[in-house]
Structure 1
Amino acid sequence: MEWHLDKKIIDFGFDDEDTIVIDWNDGRRSAFDPYPYMKGAMEKLLDEDYLKLAYLTGYGRGIAWPGNLDFGVQLLYEASVTDNSEAPLPPRGPHMRWSPEALIVRLKFAENGKILVDWSDGTVREFDAWNHASDDDIEKFVDPTYLAQARVTPERDAIVWPDGEHFDAKTLYERSAVVGFEPSAKHLARGALR
């Protein structure tokens, strides 16, 4: 298949062989085998737990992992094979699927438009607001003063700014790098940790 700049990833998941199954905005479903690319820095992907921490980057431009590893959209499109399966998209890794029970606990602001979000499930995720901004809004997300105006909604299901800009919980959760896990007393009491 030929790649064009308008190709974007809608969603992805992993099949039983750890192949990345991708749904594209042009209606195509494809399967990408990451194994041949697991050399050098990408060798980290040989660890299945790490591999399953994959997340979708802003506007469907690639699939990334914590620590700045990623496959760009052009490689994923051109190096994958069309999958004509009618089956539902396989799931992402277990720590990368948002559910309504996962609520935003607190925000911390990092450099370069990044927001650290603590979640009720104990994960800490780094969300790149700049990477998810529209062309019209991109400059405000590199302004630390603007970024610091973000607030968690009372329902703890989104972050909002005074001018109405916002990101919902599903986007914040599924399109962020997991950078830590801070178990709460509630998690320890329930035995949620291995």
Structure 2
Amino acid sequence: MDFVRVTSAQVLGHYRLRLGFSDGSSRDVDLTGELRGPVFEPLADPDFFAQVRVDDELGTVVWPNGADLDPLVLHGDFQPASRFAHY
């Protein structure tokens, strides 16, 4: 079974991304409420948030500080137990 991967990411502004997936689908995701915890708080800076890129090896979006998000959650296949876990 192949897992869906993020293939493209476009910043829409206001902590929103338009994502393309390996199954040909696309989805707009709003990360406004997810920018908590030591890894994700830096993304609250709009300039830093805009530095998002697709990591081809991981198949998801990443930021320069190492923050990333599960591509299956972004695709909408799974809901994490506590929305997004923060460690």
Which one has more relative contact order, counting CA pairs under 8 Å at least 6 apart? 2
TM-score bucket (shorter structure): 0.7 to 0.9
Corresponding position of 2:55:
57
Corresponding position of 1:7:
4
Name the larger-Rg structure: 1
**Pairs within 5 Å for 1:77-96:** 77-78=75-76
What is the Cα deviation at residue 59 of structure 1?
4.2
| Identical amino acids, percent of aligned pairs | 16
SS at match of 1:66: coil
Structure 1 gaps of 5+ residues are 80-194
List structure 1 runs of 4+ shifted beyond 3 angstroms: none
Corresponding position of 1:20:
17
Corresponding position of 1:35:
32
Q: How many Å separate the matches in 1 of 2:13 and 2:49?
A: 13
Q: TM-score, structure 2 length as denominator?
A: 0.74
The C-alpha deviation readout for 1:130-189, integer Å capped at 9, x for no partner, is: xxxxxxxxxxxxxxxxxxxxxxxxxxxxxxxxxxxxxxxxxxxxxxxxxxxxxxxxxxxx
Count of residues paired in the alignment: 76
Q: How many Å separate the matches in 2 of 1:78 and 1:55?
A: 19
RMSD over aligned CA atoms reads 1.9
Q: How many Å separate the matches in 1 of 2:57 and 2:22?
A: 11
Q: How many Å separate the matches in 1 of 2:58 and 2:7?
A: 6
**2:9 touches 2:52 (CA, 8 Å); kept in 1?**
no
The C-alpha deviation readout for 1:44-103, integer Å capped at 9, x for no partner, is: 111000001111112461111112111121121117xxxxxxxxxxxxxxxxxxxxxxxx
